[in-house]
Structure 1
Amino acid sequence: MAFVNVDLGATRFVLSTILVLLGGWALYFLYDGVTMRQRFRRMRAQGIPIPEPYSLIFGHLPLLMTLNKGYPNDAHANYAFKNLIQNWQKYYPNESKCPPLLYLDLWPFFPHALITVVSPELCHQFTQENPQPRHIIFKWAMTPLTGGIDLLSMNVADHQVWRTRLNPAFSTRNLYANTPGIVEEVSVFARLLKEMAGKNGEWGQMFTLYSRCCRLTFDVILRFVLGIRTQEQTKGPGPLLVAFRTIIPYCNTRNLRNMTVRLLPPYRRLHAHNSKIIRDILTPEIMKSFNSQSDKQNAVIDFAVRDVTQGKEPPSSEFMDALIATIKAFLFAGHDTTAQTICWLLWEINKNPEIWPRLRAEHDEVLGPDPSQAEEILRENPHKTNELRYTTAVVKEALRTHGLGSTFREGSHSFNFVWEGRRYPTYNAVIQTIPTAMLLHPELWPRVNDFIPERYLVPEGNPLRPIENAWRPFEMGNMRCIGEPLGMTELILVLVFVAREIDFDFNYSEWDKVQHRDPSKPPSLVDGERAYRCGEGMGCVKDQLPTRVRLRAGR
């Protein structure tokens, strides 16, 4: 029998080295935590408002537990901020008015101080007046899909170069040029919904609206960005959409749990498999654009490569990597957020049924009384969407009550907020805006929890009219969402094609029966409603918004 000689001295040395490294990491970890707690203690001593309860041992973790109390386990984290801002007197007992900044210490689960800005004036300071760079956590969130080198993750200088290159693709002129294609996809969406209706004005079978919205918005964004039509609505879901939907849940906030998940073999296998599918499908389509000789191409990709095809810039590997990553980012952001917003838009109108007649009246006035003619009219006159003022106001109010996008900027020693003569530090912090904090702030929005499209139609001086810089679901400044015009157009067109012909019933009780759920088990609710945003990252509408439809009388 053979024996292996073991050098006990070398073994002890290796073990000792590992123990020293682990001990050093543990000391650094604890030092980081002590530094964070001392920082918040100093700020509170200086008179900077810090929400209560705050513990020198646990930081704001007890506060977070309090804010989430009563919400379902799968409720999105943004509801905690809604709770905080709408009940600020409870959490700032020594303040006479709501602070403009919400400082949170969530160490060790979040390694930076978190600053949530809830003042339109201070939002202007860090996004418009003195724009701060995006924080690296955004790059980390996008890494599973884009490698963190896309337009949304770039540094300020590269972002400006690519934004200049891509702005013409999202201009009003180019949007009008693409409107016939968008109209065609939305008309398919409406036709398929009508096919789900029952006979003789009866309700049809239950289905989930969100999945259909995803296929619609994916068809639209693929057509707008790459100029290709995959017909996800009628032939899908295809492998490209499935691969995107598989990876998207991993585009989330950097914390201990999510960092651990990305290190595990199941994620690595899943990511490698689906990334290859996306790359194999997109790369040939992107390469086709370099061979186009026409100056009349109006897809985003045509504008992105124009400098290369015209010989103004060499097709470097860096350019190609950034191009492919940015196309992926557009396909992600351009379908997921819009799909969710369509769901919330129709949900809110159904809760406020007096809105439907006003929408229908406006559509009759602008597009004629025959809904079947809307597609042809809008193809020939895409500017007609600008005349739908009430429809636009309804869309804006849905974006206020269910805003999805957030911005994360990097604080520094060289940038401080200034408010009423006081300086608020931002060093070693993540600065963020959250729609549920800004757009549902009771001191900024009268009747904050009511759905009131008229806010955007009343004249200056009316208390309902939004104050400057308060409505910002697409953010503002040099990093404002480049796809805002496209998203608004899609949402308006959806209302045009469904309002006059389809009734909706968002019926969770019927869905419970379809899913054979235990009727004795209380359902999950947020603010008394079954439909709520759940999950991480962008999240999703609970149960993908189960619904059924019927054709309106006389249609």
Structure 2
Amino acid sequence: MEPYSPIFGHLPLMRALRQNWPSDAHSTYANLKIARDWKKYFPAASACPPVVYMDLWPIMPEPFAMIFDPAFASQLTQETPQPRHPMFKWAQIPLTGGLDLLSMDQADHKLWRSRLSPGFSPRNLGTHVPAIIEEVETFADALKVKAGKGAEWGDMFTLYDKTVALTFDVIVRVATGLRINEQTNTQGPMLLALRALISYLKLKSLPNRLGRLTPKYKRVINHNSKIMEDILRPQVISRLAALDTPGEEKTIIDMAIREAKISGQVPSSGFIDIVVSNIKIFLFAGHDTTAQTLSWVYWELQQHPEVLAKMRREHDEILGADPTLAKEILLQNHHKLNELRYTAAVIKETLRLHTPAGTLRQTGPDFRLVSKDGVVYPTHHTVTQTIPAAMHMSPAHWPRSVEFLPERFLVPEDHALRPVKNAYRPFELGSTRCIGEEMAMMEMKLALVFTVRELDFDFNYALWDRVIGREVRPGEEEVDGQRAYRAGQGIGYIKDNLPARVRRRSAGVV
């Protein structure tokens, strides 16, 4: 990219890319800006380059090769899949010690994914539907309490906190069998410990390497790791003893142990360490990205009332006109969730516009990214990274790319709205595709079923400013004209945790 400094590389450019944004705006917007304004940064190019090289030395030890094209991403993750970059393992060490699926080499990943995948299978998740519904019902009831009297708006609150509590309760219950009631007994020790550890999951940059040498880092990691270990390790050990007892519902721990025993392995201390580490990574990934996505779904539904009306009609058609009967219907036949095709499309379109992350890969000297016309893009000695957020917004791959159109996921393969192959990758693709995709979709659909027909949502940042006594001038605290934007580092969060208020819908209101 231009401009490039022989001394400072792209560091000045990165600062320029972040100009005119709030100081807490997430770095993903820089990648979107590169893709959108590519003519500025590649004046001699005729199109946005499929691979963009970013030199951030000495902050980062290696340059980034960022993939903006679906066909090139497929070469990296599917056609000749490359291993995850060691940066992943380094980043996860504060939480898992580097023993989790994200950190494992390809051989160990294949073995442990085969053991853990049955816990996330549709069949096993189906046995957890009553438990998930129980948690979702608690979530819906908590929102209804926030509504005003009659059809009036209630007081402002932050929705993201509610979705975090919901998704954490669900993943803990499905993974371990524990019901921790984070939604009703907030600020529980395990979630607080997990969130503290997550804040240290950062890439191997110079500042982050120095940060790990501080007494504070060691103190925070040791304290919060012990809290999680004291809760999770006894649970794994107890599930070992209870595995052969009758019962249809099986936790992710149960399924991993069963698969290991089938293969003849006797669970050892090292085995338990790996199970605990993977439960930690599931608790992290299984609550945060799902909570953010669900929050963004509610946001997009408010921005597009015609989409909300269509979703409500689908719920009426599939689950009956009385929303209070949805629980009974789904308990009798949870497969009806699969019939909510438009609801699933709304979630997918939200994930397209608000993509959680990409993947970082380490490529060997023999690996090359090659275009159809034979142009070679070398990647050795780089951090090779897919940029799904940019791919998802590319007009070259997505017709009407800036519009919110759930229908694009429902049209036939030959329809003009249909995206190109490999262009949709919020859960990434290939052998390391997100293991919890099915579960995330299930709990988000259930949350929407239990809320959107009975409640209206209003995301009112101007009112929130008054509530917290903050003065914001027009145009400030915005990204692309929106007060709701992705903030922070790592996975990030929604600005101000998405301030909201709700009201009860009147019967018969569309």
* TM-score (normalizing by structure 2): 0.96
Q: CA deviation at 1:458?
A: 1.6
Match of 2:32 in 1: 82
The Cα offsets for residues 101-130 of structure 1, whole Å up to 9 and x where unpaired, read as 111111111111201111111111111111
Distance in 2, matches of 1:64 and 1:291, equals 54
Distance in 2, matches of 1:523 and 1:269, equals 37
What is the aligned-residue RMSD (CA, Å)? 1.5
- CA distance 1:184–1:432, shift in 2 (3 Å): same
Task: Please state whether the residue corresponding to 2:432 is helix, strand or coil.
Answer: coil
Question: How many residues end up aligned between the 2 structures?
Answer: 505
For residues 34-433 of structure 1, the aligned pairs below 5 Å read 51-292=1-242, 293-294=244-245, 296-307=248-259, 312-419=264-371, 420-433=373-386
Task: Please state whether the residue corresponding to 1:203 is helix, strand or coil.
Answer: coil
1:448 to 377, 381, 401: 401
Distance in 2, matches of 1:216 and 1:166, equals 23
Moved over 4 A (4+): 307-311, 519-522
Contact 1:410/1:429 (<8 A) preserved? yes
Q: Give the aligned residue type for 1:277.
A: I
Contact 1:475/1:481 (<8 A) preserved? yes
Task: Please state whether the residue corresponding to 1:503 is helix, strand or coil.
Answer: strand
Q: CA deviation at 1:554?
A: 2.6
Instruction: Find out whether 1:470 has 2:420 as its counterpart.
Output: no
Q: Give the aligned residue type for 1:529.
A: Q
- CA distance 1:386–1:306, shift in 2 (3 Å): same
Task: Please state whether the residue corresponding to 1:150 is helix, strand or coil.
Answer: coil
Q: CA deviation at 1:294?
A: 2.7
Distance in 2, matches of 1:119 and 1:405, equals 15
Task: Please state whether the residue corresponding to 2:58 is helix, strand or coil.
Answer: coil
Task: Please state whether the residue corresponding to 2:24 is helix, strand or coil.
Answer: coil
Q: CA deviation at 1:523?
A: 3.6
Contact 1:215/1:237 (<8 A) preserved? no
The Cα offsets for residues 484-533 of structure 1, whole Å up to 9 and x where unpaired, read as 00011111112111110010111111111121113569641101111111
List gaps (5 residues or longer) in structure 1.
1-50
Distance in 2, matches of 1:508 and 1:129, equals 45
Contact 1:391/1:492 (<8 A) preserved? yes
Task: Please state whether the residue corresponding to 2:450 is helix, strand or coil.
Answer: helix
Q: CA deviation at 1:267?
A: 2.0
Contact 2:357/2:389 (<8 A) preserved? no
Instruction: Find out whether 1:435 has 2:388 as its counterpart.
Output: yes
The Cα offsets for residues 209-259 of structure 1, whole Å up to 9 and x where unpaired, read as 111111100010011111221111112221111111111111122212222
Task: Please state whether the residue corresponding to 1:273 is helix, strand or coil.
Answer: helix
Q: CA deviation at 1:449?
A: 1.7
Contact 2:28/2:389 (<8 A) preserved? yes
Q: Give the aligned residue type for 2:17.
A: L
Distance in 2, matches of 1:474 and 1:428, equals 26
Contact 2:63/2:382 (<8 A) preserved? yes
Contact 1:67/1:83 (<8 A) preserved? yes
Distance in 2, matches of 1:519 and 1:89, equals 33
Contact 1:531/1:542 (<8 A) preserved? yes
Rg bigger for which structure? 1
Normalized per residue, the structure richer in helix is 1
Distance in 2, matches of 1:132 and 1:284, equals 36
Match of 1:492 in 2: 445
Distance in 1, matches of 2:46 and 2:304, equals 34
Q: CA deviation at 1:317?
A: 3.0
Match of 2:411 in 1: 458
Of 58-67 and 85-94, deviating more is 58-67
Distance in 2, matches of 1:95 and 1:423, equals 16
The Cα offsets for residues 363-387 of structure 1, whole Å up to 9 and x where unpaired, read as 0000011101111111221111111
* Percent sequence identity over aligned pairs: 51
Distance in 1, matches of 2:15 and 2:285, equals 30
Q: CA deviation at 1:297?
A: 4.2
Contact 1:508/1:546 (<8 A) preserved? yes
Task: Please state whether the residue corresponding to 2:183 is helix, strand or coil.
Answer: helix
The Cα offsets for residues 310-356 of structure 1, whole Å up to 9 and x where unpaired, read as 68212233322211110100011000110111111111111111111
